[in-house]
Amino acid sequence: MPGIEDLYREIILDHYRTPRNRGELPPPAVSCEGNNPLCGDDICIYLDVADGVVRDVKFSGQGCSISQSSTSMMTVAVKGKTVAEVQAFVRRFKHMMTLTEGDDEVDQSINLGDIEALQGVVKFPVRIKCATLGWNTLLEALKETQN
Amino acid sequence: MVGTNTAFDSAVIRRDFPLLAKEIDGKPLVYLDSANTSQKPNIVIDTMAKFMRESYAPINRSAYTLAANATELFENARNAVAKFINSNNSREIIFTKNATEALNLIVNSWGRANLQRGDVVLLTHMEHHANIVPWQMLQQERGIELRWVPLTSDFQLDLSSLESLLTGVKVFSFTSMSNVLGTINPVEKLCAAAHAAGALAIVDACQSVPHAPTDVQAWGADFAMFSSHKMCGPSGLGVLWGREEILQAMPPYLGGGNMISEVRLDGFTCAELPAKFEAGTPAIAEVVGLGAAVEYLSSVGMANIRQHEIATSSYVLEMLTSRFGDDITIHGPRNPELRGATFSFAFRGIHPHDLSQVLDQSNVCVRAGHHCAKPLMKIIGANATARASFYLYNTTADADALADALDSASDIF
Ligand SMILES: Cc1ncc(COP(=O)(O)O)c(C=O)c1O
């Protein structure tokens, strides 16, 4: 059995206890809801994109420590990035969570920073969905900003 | 094996279940997820293995001795199930894939034949998705109306307006025991109320048949269903019980082999019950295994199991409350007589997913999530809960192990 300390790293618990960018953004920011049908968790991502740059991002909803901290770390990382940078960043993250096939598209030089701490989740396969919930919802929200 | 009159001892019963002796990382397994699915006793495992080694053959289709013997063993199991729930006769016992399929069978066969736009089906706020979604599918197709019996603040069905809720209702379909709250519903009373209103009474008996004596005739129900895997039997098998005259009048559900008496190029006629509703090759070894499971449960004694679970509930409720006080919230009745030994709870604000992960470090197996009852979860104001459910093989030591593991979760969060 993999050790629980691989899962609950201090940085993860820190983002869980004090989530960054929790809250909502009023329209015209887009909002997008994602849920994990297995456990009933839901997350809403609010995204303000202007001139191809993520100006602001917030999240609300309920979830376990993994989904909440992963989303919190994600918001910190993507704020200020261009849409293309965000997309590449998400690909890099999902690759770390071993969810993407076809390595060629993944830019391994992208530094995930603190988010590397989530790598331990891979040892607990049922929790991967928790870690990626916010990220998939972000992708949905990005799509909406492009409509 | 323990006879009905012998003192019941879950520590002895436990030895009948080989998997419960398993250790992971040198620590014993504490299996508290039997409301989800139960572990299997040796007698079930051995009966199925022996059947497949010595007696396996098609049933109902071939004249040779091996097949005739297999058919006899299969039908013996059906008889045992009929007796176990006091069905009038074994033609009323239909084998399905699981309880979910049994509910879909009723909705698709009886429902389609009898319900039109505007007809009302009454359900309750504590139903499993299996007793909600098939009706909603018919609602989308037919425009039937769904009505709901609400809950009281102490997690019982609020029956104060039952009579008016039942007005004009064609079917009342409800669970005998909530898989989330543990609440045991007054099945006889609800069936009588349904009939007084001219409605059919359907009992989702998944959570009660494994845990207490069942008498479908005393209930006065029209249909009941349950799953083999929750009652010490194999998975892949469910039981639909229905009153013979209603089953007779229903159109078939799945079509194919075994369910016909005649097929011509221009049509078919149905087989007699129960074959009429058992299209295709059934779960042969599983049915034989379920037969062994009901024999096993009967020999332990269903009344003994119920008494054990009342005692377990008393212990768990008292112990958890005295150890954790307000740090634990149990979503369910406090009175052990009114509940089964299934406990959904919230603990110190720790998300159930995290909780179950930490409990797993101590080999304590509990379920975390919405338990396939999302409308109910919304009503009790939780996205998810952790759920510990006890069965005949669980001892007070299992309950203590749960509490110790909960303590260790607080250390992390
Ligand atoms: C009350 C209730 N109804 C229906 C079901 C569905 O049973 P199955 O998944 O075996 O079809 C369950 C099991 O989870 C249940 O607890």
Q: What's the rounded mean pLDDT across residues B335-340?
A: 98
Task: Indicate whether B104 and B128 sit together in one domain.
Answer: yes
pLDDT above 70 (res B47): yes
pTM for this predicted structure: 0.93
State the catalytic residues of B: 372
Q: Is residue B126 part of a domain?
A: yes
- The dihedral over CA atoms of A25, A31, A35, A40, expressed in degrees to the nearest 10, equals 40
Task: Indicate whether B233 and B293 sit together in one domain.
Answer: yes
Instruction: Provide the residue-wise pLDDT of chain A in tens; the chain has 147 residues.
Output: 678 888 999 999 999 999 999 999 999 999 999 998 777 788 999 999 999 999 999 999 989 999 999 999 999 999 999 999 999 999 999 999 986 666 667 888 899 999 999 999 999 988 999 999 999 999 999 999 987
3-state secondary structure of B252: coil
Closest CA to B341 of B398, B405, B379, B406: B398
Q: Which position has the higher pLDDT, B382 or B178?
A: B178
Look at A4-8, B15-19, B139-143, B178-182 and tell me which has the smallest mean pLDDT: A4-8
3-state secondary structure of B379: helix
Task: Indicate whether B231 and B307 sit together in one domain.
Answer: no
- Tokens standing for A51? 């001139």
Q: Cβ–Cβ of B357/A7 closer than 8 Å?
A: yes
Residue B129 in contact with partner chain A when CB distance is under 8 A: no
Q: Which of B267, B299, B331 is the last residue of a domain?
A: B299
Q: Cβ–Cβ of A39/B354 closer than 8 Å?
A: no
Q: What's the rounded mean pLDDT across residues B12-23?
A: 96
Q: Cβ–Cβ of B383/A41 closer than 8 Å?
A: yes
- For B329, counting Cβ atoms within 10 Å of its Cβ (0-12 exposed, 13-18 middle, 19+ buried), the class is middle
Task: Indicate whether B157 and B274 sit together in one domain.
Answer: yes
Closest CA to A64 of A119, A8, A6, A116: A8
Q: How much is the pLDDT for A121?
A: 93
Q: Is residue B4 part of a domain?
A: no
Instruction: Calculate the average pLDDT of chain B.
Output: 96
Task: Indicate whether B131 and B278 sit together in one domain.
Answer: yes
- Tokens standing for B78? 């059906």
Closest CA to B282 of B47, B77, B145, B11: B77
Q: Which of B263, B280, B299 is the last residue of a domain?
A: B299
Q: How much is the pLDDT for A73?
A: 97
Task: Indicate whether B293 and B305 sit together in one domain.
Answer: no
CB B211 near ligand 1, within 6 Å = no
Q: In residues, how long is chain A?
A: 147
Strand B364-365 vs strand B30-31: parallel, antiparallel, or unpaired? parallel
CB B123 near ligand 1, within 6 Å = no
Q: What's the rounded mean pLDDT across residues B77-89?
A: 98
Q: Is residue B2 part of a domain?
A: no
Domain that holds residue B258: 46-299
Split into its structural domains, chain B has a count of: 2
- Under 8 Å between Cβ of A39 and A127: no
State the SS3 of A29-54. CEEEEEEECCCCEEEEEEEEEECCEE
Q: How much is the pLDDT for B1?
A: 40
Across B349-366, b (16+ Cβ under 10 Å) vs e yields ebbbbbbbbbbbbbbbbb
User: Rounded to the nearest 5°, which phi and psi values hold at B359?
Assistant: -60, -35
Ligand 1 pocket test, pick from B179, B371, B374, B391 with the greatest ligand atom count within 8 Å of Cβ, gives B179
- For B64, counting Cβ atoms within 10 Å of its Cβ (0-12 exposed, 13-18 middle, 19+ buried), the class is exposed
pLDDT above 90 (res B360): yes
Q: Which of B284, B299, B314 is the last residue of a domain?
A: B299
- Under 8 Å between Cβ of B328 and A14: no
CATH number at residue A70: 3.90.1010.10
pLDDT above 80 (res B116): yes
B38: Cβ contacts below 8 Å, ≥ 6 apart: B210, B229, B230, B231, B232, B391
Task: Indicate whether B288 and B163 sit together in one domain.
Answer: yes
Q: Is residue B72 part of a domain?
A: yes
Q: How much is the pLDDT for B383?
A: 86
pLDDT above 90 (res B9): yes
Which among A1, A4, A63 has CB closest to B24? A1
Q: SS3 breakdown of chain A: % helix, strand, coil, rounded to 5?
A: 50, 20, 30
Give the residue from B25, B347, B351, B360 with the most A CB atoms within 10 Å of its CB, the best one to mutate: B351
Q: What's the rounded mean pLDDT across residues B97-112?
A: 98
pLDDT above 80 (res B3): no
Q: How much is the pLDDT for B411?
A: 83
Task: Indicate whether B24 and B172 sit together in one domain.
Answer: no
Task: Indicate whether B313 and B178 sit together in one domain.
Answer: no
Between the alpha carbon of residue B106 and those of residues B113, B160, B202, B252, the distances in Å are 10, 28, 9, 10
Closest CA to B316 of B255, B406, B236: B406
Q: Is residue B305 part of a domain?
A: yes
Please state the separation of Cα B127 from the chain's center in Å: 12
Look at A81-85, B30-34, B60-64, B132-136 and tell me which has the smallest mean pLDDT: B60-64
- Under 8 Å between Cβ of B191 and B200: no
Task: Indicate whether B294 and B376 sit together in one domain.
Answer: no
Q: What's the rounded mean pLDDT across residues B33-57?
A: 98
Q: Is residue B1 part of a domain?
A: no
Strand partners, A30: A47
Q: How much is the pLDDT for A143?
A: 93
Closest CA to A19 of A81, A80, A61, A82: A61
CATH number at residue B364: 3.90.1150.10
Q: How much is the pLDDT for A36?
A: 85
Q: What's the rounded mean pLDDT across residues B264-274?
A: 97
Measured distance between the N- and C-terminal CA atoms of chain A, rounded to whole angstroms: 46
Task: Indicate whether B348 and B238 sit together in one domain.
Answer: no
Domain that holds residue A36: 4-146
Which among B351, B360, B361 has CB closest to A64? B351
- For B86, counting Cβ atoms within 10 Å of its Cβ (0-12 exposed, 13-18 middle, 19+ buried), the class is middle
Residue of chain B with shortest Cα separation from A7: B357
Q: Is residue B319 part of a domain?
A: yes
Q: How much is the pLDDT for B2?
A: 40
B167: Cβ contacts below 8 Å, ≥ 6 apart: B197
CATH number at residue B56: 3.40.640.10
- Tokens standing for B288? 């034989």
| Ligand 1 centre distance from Cα of residue B204 (Å) | 8
Q: Is residue B267 part of a domain?
A: yes
Closest CA to B235 of B74, B40, B75, B65: B40
Split into its structural domains, chain A has a count of: 1
